Structure 1
Amino acid sequence: MVTIVDTLSKPDPDAAKSPERPRHPEKAHRPDNPIQRKPKWIRVKAPTSPVYRETIDIVRENKLVTVCEEAGCPNIGECWSKKHASFMILGDTCTRACAFCNVRTGMPGPVDDGEPERIAEAVAAMGLNHVVITSVDRDDLDDGGATHFANVIKAIRKGSPGTTVEVLTPDFLRKEGALEIVVEAKPDVFNHNMETVPSKYLKVRPGARYFHSIRLLQRAKELDASMFTKSGMMVGLGEERNEVLQLMDDLRTADVDFLTIGQYLQPTKKHHAVMSFVTPEDFKAYERIAYAKGFLKVSSSPLTRSSHHAGEDFADLRRAREAKFGKSAG
């Protein structure tokens, strides 16, 4: 029998609090937002594959953190059953308190210098053709963690030279030179998520600045035109349709290649409420518009996430670039 679940997100912290390690102390001042019942098109299958357990074992043995678990991704069952995982470096504690995010907020611990090698070992053990590396925000570090990103990329290149590397970075706000460090390490894809439209930043992403993020993506492409750039946003946070289209235009002005659009799902009642569930038909309409605006690749669906199908999407990106510019492009 196949079990259907709404999401695979983490338990509500109010249901099982830990006095030593509260998950969301920074969100405790917020009023409770009841979690709405999800429509049928968002429900996913519970993981049952033995490969899913193998992936868990590899992650645990190497003492790694994955964004799949920390962010409560609904696609974890599908991805881990295929030995696809997105690694989260620089710890599991973020210096920011975004209203949508299920990652713990607080003062992070010291940088683990052994992490790059352990990630490289896990990538080799899993036989990954494409790997996604992301991180918490580390505003406490002089370079925002950029050097650590570069070290991870270099370790993967050494251990698995045939593996393509995608990074999903923080915004490196007020960290001069940080972006250059990451780009110099030559990731195949540079991703930084806008997350939402500018009118929602104050409530949804208060520690970030919309136009700084746009400029970060634009600057990444200026530094290395051969590198693919990518960004993503959530819908269902109260944005208007015209704001979504404007965000697309801003990303195209920054020469971003790949856009992902997914449904925001509220992790706990202390997080921002879901204002609407966008229909699959509306997601398809956004996809058609985004392609018309010039993106090489668009992934738009209720369960789309930045790293979901990242390897297949990277292959699509390369084919799209070759079709548009010829095989010599990049």
Structure 2
Amino acid sequence: MDISFTNRSRGGSRRWVFHHRDTSDGMSRSRKPGWLKTRPPSGREFADIRETLRDHDLHTVCEEANCPNLGECWSGGEGGSEGGTATFMLMGDRCSRGCNFCDVETGGMEALDPDEPENVAEAVAEIGLDYVVLTSVDRDDLPDQGAGHFAETIREIKARHPGILVEVLIPDFRGEEELVEKIVEADPDVIAHNVETVSRLQTPVRDRRAGYEQSLSVLEYVDRVSEIYTKTSIMLGHGEYDHEVYRTLADCREAGVDVVTLGQYLRPSESHLPVRRYDHPGKYETWRRVAEEELGFLYCASGPMVRSSYRAGELFVEAVLREGESVERARERAHAVGN
């Protein structure tokens, strides 16, 4: 496989020219390749996290979206040798949007639980996390789309656990900057928002209320008004072309995104979008090199089983923010865990 890109300027504008020689790293959508393997949930850490979540009536995106890495993350890595991690999903288990790739239920919205911020903070302490990831469903039904509730959860965790690192994966809040500002003011350590796929495929993949430019504007706003690390994620396998993936990465970097993840889309059920292509792990490694070495992302986690919340990416941020490691050393440690 050989991927290269040339930046050519004509009249002050940029045009990316794509050269590609691909030698069998794509597979038919009709059969799942052998490298897409996960281990079933098990171990004490897994059981403890599940029990704690049930005790506090909390949801995780790990369960609601049927994440394939649930067993590894909750069980604490290979053999349960590391502490388990979980991504808390705020504001209920039903989303106001209906993206065609996502397994979270749509509609039937319920009132927010006013005790949820406190319950999440208590669960964080019980599980023993020092790095917590928060995400949420979309709540277009609420006047502030849930931004205030999200921000209150961040503040509650930070107040109770001053040394903890908080990463948030936020909705687009329909691009309304004053709502994004509520998240910024709560001062998380990382703000993530996913563009999900390339520009051309936004409409079949995502809900019509989402959009490529809207998502980029959220990321650009956070970068413009704060020093908070920004992050995004791209799914592969929807029928995108390589030059479109490159253009998406370049657009995200231009918007100031620091960390990016790329992973294989897996169809949750027959009612969701079909997988158009499975790419070999070697191609994901190529995208990692392009993202880090050519485009200048601080870190890229790229692999078939990588998801937006991914333990190697969290390790990178933790190493840079908490331990003061250089970006290069933090990359090395994170890639060692990711592989």
| Paired amino acid for 1:185 | A
Measure the CA separation in 2 of the matches of 1:56 and 1:214.
Answer: 34
Supply the RMSD in Å over aligned alpha carbons: 1.8
Give 1:208's match in structure 2, choosing from 195, 210, 219: 210
1:9 corresponds to: none
Measure the CA separation in 2 of the matches of 1:303 and 1:212.
Answer: 27
2:68 corresponds to: 74
**Is 2:162 the partner of 1:168?**
no
Give 1:64's match in structure 2, choosing from 58, 67, 72: 58
Measure the CA separation in 1 of the matches of 2:41 and 2:301.
Answer: 23
| Paired amino acid for 1:275 | R
Give 1:297's match in structure 2, choosing from 296, 299, 314: 299
**Is 2:34 the partner of 1:40?**
yes
Matched position secondary structure for 2:245: helix
- C-alpha distance after superposition, 1:207-264 (max 9, x if no partner): 211101101100011111x210000010000000000000011011111000000000
What percent identity do the matched residue pairs reach? 43
Q: CA deviation at 1:143?
A: 1.3
Identify if the C-alpha distance between structure 1 residues 249 and 230 changes in structure 2 by more than 3 Å, giving closer, same or farther.
same
Measure the CA separation in 2 of the matches of 1:320 and 1:39.
Answer: 38
Identify if the C-alpha distance between structure 1 residues 174 and 300 changes in structure 2 by more than 3 Å, giving closer, same or farther.
closer
- C-alpha distance after superposition, 1:26-85 (max 9, x if no partner): xxxxxxxxx844211111111221221111101111110000000100000111112200
Kept after mapping to 1: 8 A contact 2:117/2:156: yes
Kept after mapping to 2: 8 A contact 1:68/1:86: yes
Stretch deviating more after TM superposition (38-47 or 59-68): 38-47
Identify if the C-alpha distance between structure 1 residues 285 and 196 changes in structure 2 by more than 3 Å, giving closer, same or farther.
same
1:13 corresponds to: none
Matched position secondary structure for 1:44: coil
**Is 2:97 the partner of 1:96?**
yes
2:195 corresponds to: 194
Alignment of 1:1-330 (within 5 A): 36-82=30-76, 83-173=84-174, 175-205=176-206, 206-224=208-226, 226-291=227-292, 292-309=294-311, 310-318=313-321, 323=326
Measure the CA separation in 2 of the matches of 1:136 and 1:42.
Answer: 27
Measure the CA separation in 2 of the matches of 1:323 and 1:48.
Answer: 35
TM-score by length of 2: 0.82
Matched position secondary structure for 1:110: coil
| Paired amino acid for 1:303 | M
Higher relative contact order (CA 8 A, sep 6+): 1
Kept after mapping to 1: 8 A contact 2:177/2:221: no
| Paired amino acid for 1:151 | E
| Paired amino acid for 1:215 | S
Identify if the C-alpha distance between structure 1 residues 162 and 324 changes in structure 2 by more than 3 Å, giving closer, same or farther.
closer
Measure the CA separation in 2 of the matches of 1:188 and 1:156.
Answer: 12
Identify if the C-alpha distance between structure 1 residues 131 and 40 changes in structure 2 by more than 3 Å, giving closer, same or farther.
same
Matched position secondary structure for 2:35: helix
2:20 corresponds to: none
Unaligned runs of 5+ residues in structure 2 are 1-28, 77-83, 329-339
Kept after mapping to 2: 8 A contact 1:296/1:321: no
Measure the CA separation in 2 of the matches of 1:247 and 1:193.
Answer: 11
Kept after mapping to 2: 8 A contact 1:150/1:182: yes
Measure the CA separation in 2 of the matches of 1:302 and 1:319.
Answer: 28
Measure the CA separation in 2 of the matches of 1:136 and 1:93.
Answer: 7
Measure the CA separation in 2 of the matches of 1:181 and 1:163.
Answer: 20
| Paired amino acid for 2:139 | R
Identify if the C-alpha distance between structure 1 residues 52 and 324 changes in structure 2 by more than 3 Å, giving closer, same or farther.
closer
Measure the CA separation in 2 of the matches of 1:184 and 1:244.
Answer: 32
Kept after mapping to 2: 8 A contact 1:100/1:271: yes
Identify if the C-alpha distance between structure 1 residues 270 and 47 changes in structure 2 by more than 3 Å, giving closer, same or farther.
same
Measure the CA separation in 2 of the matches of 1:209 and 1:306.
Answer: 18
Give the structure with the higher percent strand. 2
Q: CA deviation at 1:158?
A: 1.6
Runs of 4+ in 1 over 3 A off after TM superposition: 316-325
Identify if the C-alpha distance between structure 1 residues 95 and 200 changes in structure 2 by more than 3 Å, giving closer, same or farther.
same
Kept after mapping to 1: 8 A contact 2:259/2:297: yes
